[in-house]
A and B are shown apart, each in its own frame.
Chain A
Amino acid sequence: MGYHWNWGIFWEQSPEGTGTYFDMLVQGLETTLVTAALAWLIAFVVGSVVGVLRTLPGRVAPAIATCWIELFRNMPLLVQLFLWYFVVPDLLPGPWGVWLKQLPNAPFITAVLGIGFFMSARVAVQVASGVEALPRGQRAAATALGLTGPQTYRYVLLPMAYRIILPPLTSELLNTIKNTSVALTIGLAELTARARAVQEFSFQVFEAFTAATLAYLVVNLIATLAARWLEDRVRVPGFGKP
């Protein structure tokens, strides 16, 4: 191959003047993790609310939840980020839009909101399927005991539902981390964007991408192990795997 390898590149100063190329990648990884953590918080909270709405009796609440899920599931994440970044500020009343456009860290805020809402639809589907997977008798028994609707969810349905959906929720968390890379299109300096920048400054494309790949693998591994530990920890005796 006509490619000149140079693994020492990571310890050279980057032309940005803020440290070595390695530092650039580390900062990128930090941005990826912070963005993913906040987006996951939004996805988890909003997704849980929407998922619960979907399982409520009656017609209105499930219909609202279905609209939310279909809306955020049927547009590519990249398009949703563009909507939040370019379109929403224009739709807001004048001063609000200007304020939003001039935020210094607009790409970060947009990425957190955009990825958070995008993932919330997926979390909602999981939460709803977790609640629906429970025997119908559980809801009836809670009602018979005199629990109110919110109490039924808080003390009976959700604790079991979350345990059932822990494995799929873990992969949604991993998806959230991976999806932060899409935000490089709106200028977020996350890991993939920083690997690209290393490549553009130094022309050492494969070293930069290898480092980013390894970082994603390690993050993935840690998240997977943490989820497995959590699964063991919260297991209810008599349910699930022995």
Chain B
Amino acid sequence: MSNFDFDIVWQNLPYLFLVGLRFTLTLTVLAALGGVILGTLLAILRQSGGPVLSGFVAGYVNLVRALPLVLVIFWFYFLVPYVGQWVTGSPRPIQVGGFASALITFIVFEAAYFSEIMRAGIASIPRGQSSAGQALGLTHAQVMRYVVLPQVFRIMLPVLLTQTIVLFQDTSLVYVLSITDFLGAASKIAERDGRLVEMYTFAALVYFVLSFAASRGVQRLRARYAVPR
């Protein structure tokens, strides 16, 4: 501890932030957007997709939620090239980059969690509202689009954002694919220069500050955006 070398952190700040953290934040934002959109579709299908489709969606959501993210990351890393081959009809498995593989994995994985949040939100809207919408002549899709979902997003925004903070922390697991996300960048410098203590302590500090600030922000939002009842 006596020879804690701040210089090593200072010298590598551009690499850590501009390469590593940038990757982490891009992945977090895109995966959250994709995950919420896919999750919302899954929640709607599960609620009103007929017995076969909703059973299939339920099975998918429960399967994904039963598996560790690390295993799912490996699954997709090996599976996506074959799926790409199948879709494009190419003679050999398609090589996808680390970013694409990670993004697909996180969207598909997080969608299961986001869909449970959206499902709870949809269930919390009184049924009378759907009936009223239908009585006004709106189609089912219109009821969702104009009556139910706007309220669900507002009620569930804090929960969706909290799940996004979890997602932000989970992106560190792309380390298992040797991708240079923020932790990957820290780890590469740590191993190159033999400075594990400095780099991992700094990485922990950055993750802590960002997650803590974000969760405080969500708390304030929760207080301000609460739907008056």
Contact = CB atoms under 8 A, between A and B. Distances in A.
Interface of A: 1-3, 70-71, 73-80, 82-83, 86-87, 90-91, 174, 178-182, 184-185, 192, 195-196, 199, 205-206, 209, 212-213, 216-217, 220
A196 B73 CA distance: 12
Contact of A2 (B71, B93, B197, B211): B93
Interface stretch (B33-41, B124-132, B151-159, B172-180): B172-180
Contacts of A182: 68, 70, 173
Contact of A192 (B74, B86, B201, B211): B74
14 contacts: A2-B85, A73-B215, A74-B169, A76-B207, A78-B172, A79-B183, A82-B187, A83-B200, A87-B200, A182-B70, A192-B68, A192-B70, A209-B75, A213-B75
Contacts of B1: 90-91
Interface of A is mostly: helix
A209 B166 CA distance: 25
Chain B interface residue bracket vs A? 35 or more
Nearest to A224: B66
Contacts of B86: 1
Contacts of B215: 73-74
Interface string B196-217: 1100110110011001100100
Contact of A78 (B63, B183, B201): B183
Contacts of A73: 211, 215
B68 A76 contact: no
B208 A195 contact: no
B82 interface: yes
Contact of B71 (A71, A74, A80, A192): A192
Contacts of A77: 169
A74 B66 contact: no
Contacts of A192: 68, 70-71, 74
Nearest to A196: B74
A76 B63 CA distance: 23
A206 B67 contact: no
B15 to A, nearest CB: 18
Interface in B94-121: none
